[in-house]
Amino acid sequence: MAVRKIIAAAAAAVFMLPAVAQEFTGDVIDVDPYAGGAGYITWGWDPIYPGDPYIDTWRLVTGAQQQWVQLKLEDIGFPGDNFEVLTLNGAKISWDSYVPGIGHRDSTTGSQRAEGQVRLLLEANTTYTLGVTATPCQFGCDYGGGAWYVFTPLGPVPEPSTYALMLGGVVALLARRRAQGRQRA
C-alpha cells in the first residue's frame, strides 16, 4: 500500500472520490494533456461482492489550445480481468482498439491480459474526466488486479488563424514565383 501511495504521489496529485452504490471507486489522477503521464492503477474487490466493478478516473485540464491525447491501458494482473466501460465526462465511449482479457488466475494456456487504446480530441479551456471500469476474471480473482497506463500527447490542434496564416504564406510564395516567372519571360 505504501508503494502505491508513493507511485501515485509521484505520478499525480491524488484525491479520493466517495463510493457509488456497491461500485468501488478509485483515485482521481490529474494528468497534463500537453505533457502526458504514466503510472500504475490498482483495483480490488470485496470478497463479499465478487465481480463488482472498480472505477479509476483521470482528470485532464486543457489550456488555450485543443489537444489530441492517447491513452493506452495494459492489464498486469490476472488474465481475464477486463476494462468493461470507458467514459468521458460520464458518457460511455468506445476503445479505438481493445483486446479483452481471457482466462483466470490459474490459467496456464490460452489466456491473455486486457489491453485498450483510445485517442481523444480535447477542446481548449475544458476539464475532462476520463474513467475506466475494471472487472475481475471469472474465477479466483476476488482480490483485484492492476494496470499500467500511459497518456501520450499527440500534438496540439492548430487554431484556425494558424491555418489562415499558413495559407496566406503559400499564396504569397506562389504570387512571388509567378511574378519572377513573368520577369524572366
115, part of any domain: yes
C-alpha cell at 181: 516567372
Domain span at residue 105 reads 2-158
pLDDT tens, position by position, 40-74: 887 765 555 555 566 778 888 888 888 899 999 99
CATH of the domain at 108: 2.60.40
Number of domains in the chain: 1
CB contact burial 108-135 (16+ within 10 A = b; e otherwise): eeebebbbbbbebebeeeeebebbbbbb
Residue with cell 474487490: 45
| Residue segments in the chain with a per-residue pLDDT below the cut of 70 | 1-27, 44-54, 104-109, 138-144, 156-159, 185
Q: Looking at the whole model, is its pTM more than 0.95?
A: no
148, part of any domain: yes
Residue whose C-alpha is closest to residue 67's, from 6, 26, 128, 22: 128
Strands (E), 123-164: 127-135, 145-156
